[in-house]
Structure 1
Amino acid sequence: MKTIQINGLDRPVTTLIQGSDYFKPSVYEKVCQVLDRYVAIGGNTIDTAHIYCGGESEVAIGMWLKERNNREDIVILTKGAHHDQNGPRVNPEAIRQDLFESLERLGTDYIDLYALHRDDPNIPVSEIIDALNEHIKAGRVKAIGGSNWTTERIQAANEYAASNGLVGFSFNSPNLSLAKANEPFWKGCVSADSSDMEWHEETQLPILSWSSQARGFFTGRFTRQDRSNEDLVRVFYSDANWDRLSRAEKLADKKGVTAIQIALAYVLNQPFPTCALIGAQNEHELVSCFEGSKIELSHEELDWLENGEK
């Protein structure tokens, strides 16, 4: 499987990252099947978060890591400091609390990739970077990033880090997909737009994209008339996205693949390092993603998929 390098890690990260937002100890057999298959095709990175399934996702992953005795072979991406019912929690105390709980659940003494799940623009980036660097210095975290942070805030954080001899963000994890979001899927979520992509091309900061395949929009299961999935309708139904789906289908026919594989390839062929978080739950979905990750698209094909004929 193809890989990218992320500053702070001593091992590469595979471009397909296995998602775990449905993992629980109560479905541990399925968790094992999914992760064992993923590793068998060359994957090495698992995405989770402090809030997934009330923490059960991290617990299930920790069980698998212990049983397989493979912690040193696996890159763990987890996220913390998500807001709660009282509002934002992006502060040193919440970061510390969530991180320590994640470490305990996962049964490990370090996190490879630690991302702040949300941002709070009211908190100075200096305070956040200072707090995260304490955990890096202590060996609890190897690399830090933002999930659902704007590139402006990431730039400010990294400028502060650079000017103070500290470690800045070495990855970003927004939504990036061929289907462009009409509005955030969840409150506070960020989708990469054209200016963000230009910034990433300039800085070469990696994107680890969630909902990289637009939550099934490119599977062919949905039509303009089918409005049964309210979230998909709200976020991804637009004339421009239906046109992108049509172009993806045409290119897929030309290359002998599927439209959803083309959508995945769109994310993985950007002019900067990218990974795609995938939600494969069975062999068919995993193989589809694996084959899609091998597709190479030219700059002209990427532009045509996104914008059509000029």
Structure 2
Amino acid sequence: MKQLSISGFSSTCSQMILGSDYFQPSIQQQVDTLLDAYVDVGGNVVDTAHGYRAGESEKAIGLWMKARGNRDRIHILTKGAHHDANGPRVNAEAITSDLTDSLQRLQTDYIDFYALHRDDPEVAVEPIIDILNEHIHAGKIRAIGASNWTHQRIQSANEYAARNGLIGFTFSSTNLSLAEPNMPRWPGCVSADEATCAWHQQTNTPLFSWSSLAAGFLTGRFTPDNRDNEEIVRVYYNELNWQRLDRAKQSAEHKGVTLAQISLAYVTNQPFPTCAIVAAHSLEELYANRAAVDIVLSAQEVRWLESGKR
């Protein structure tokens, strides 16, 4: 599987990252089967979060790693400091509390990739970078990133880190897909627009894309006449996306692959480093996603999928 190098990180990470938002110990056998297969096909990064299934996702991954004794070969991407009913939580206390919980649930003493799950633009970047660096120096975190932060905020944080001899964000995790959203799916979600992609290309900052298939819109399950899913209609129904979907279908037919595979290949063939975070509920889905990572799209093909122009 294609691998990416992350600045300041001693190992490489697979371009397909396995999502685990539905994992929990009550389905541990299914979790173990999928994780075993993911490793067998060359994957080494598992995405989770403090808030997924109220911590059950992290617990299931921890049980699997303990049973397999493979912690040194698996890179954990987990996220914390997500806002909740008590309001914004991008602060030192919440970050430390969530990190401590995640380490215990995962049965490990360090996190490979730690990201802040949501931003709070009202909070200055300086204390955020300070507390994350404390945890880096304590050996609890290997690399830090931002999930659902704008590139402007990440740039500000990294400029502060550079001025003060600190470690800045070395990856971002926003939504990137062939389908452009009309609006955020949930409050605080950030999708990569043209300016964001240009910044990633300029800085060579890796982007770990969540919802690369646009919540299923890019699998072909939806049509303009089917308006049963209010969220998908609200976020993804627009003429540009139907045109892009049609071109993706043409490309998939030409290459002898599926629509979903072409859509994932769009994410992994950007002019800057990218990984696609994709969940799988079966081995069939896992293997199909794995095959998508090997699809090569030229810059001309990517441009055609976006605009219809060669």
**Residue in 2 that maps onto 1:295:** 295
**Residue in 1 that maps onto 2:234:** 234
Structure 2: distance between partners of 1:6 and 1:111: 15
**Residue in 2 that maps onto 1:58:** 58
Name the amino acid aligned to 2:41.
I
2:215 corresponds to 1:210 = no
3-state SS of 2:118 partner: coil
Q: Displacement of 1:216 after TM fit? A: 1.5
Large movers: runs of 4+ above 2 Å: none
Name the amino acid aligned to 1:77.
L
**Residue in 2 that maps onto 1:268:** 268
2:244 corresponds to 1:244 = yes
TM-score by length of 1: 0.98
**Residue in 2 that maps onto 1:196:** 196
| Structure 2 stretches lacking a partner, 5+ long | none
3-state SS of 1:205 partner: coil
**Residue in 1 that maps onto 2:284:** 284
Q: How does 1:102-251 map to 2 (within 5 A)?
A: 102-251=102-251
Question: How high is the sequence identity, in percent, across the aligned residues?
Answer: 59
Structure 2: distance between partners of 1:72 and 1:23: 21
Residue-by-residue CA offset, 1:50-87 (whole Å, 9 max, x unaligned) = 00000010011100010010000000000000001121
Q: Displacement of 1:8 after TM fit? A: 2.8
Q: Displacement of 1:229 after TM fit? A: 1.7
Aligned length: 310
Q: Displacement of 1:36 after TM fit? A: 0.9
2:220 corresponds to 1:253 = no
2:305 corresponds to 1:305 = yes
2:3 corresponds to 1:3 = yes
Residue-by-residue CA offset, 1:122-158 (whole Å, 9 max, x unaligned) = 1111110001000000000000000000000000000
Name the amino acid aligned to 1:70.
N
3-state SS of 2:159 partner: helix
| Structure 1 stretches lacking a partner, 5+ long | none
Name the amino acid aligned to 2:81.
A
Greater shift, 225-234 or 43-52, is seen at: 225-234
* Cα RMSD, aligned residues only: 0.9
Name the amino acid aligned to 2:286.
L
Structure 1: distance between partners of 2:260 and 2:31: 24
Structure 1: distance between partners of 2:298 and 2:64: 39
Structure 2: distance between partners of 1:7 and 1:141: 14
Q: Displacement of 1:309 after TM fit? A: 2.9
Structure 1: distance between partners of 2:204 and 2:86: 36
3-state SS of 1:169 partner: coil
3-state SS of 1:22 partner: coil
Structure 2: distance between partners of 1:238 and 1:208: 25
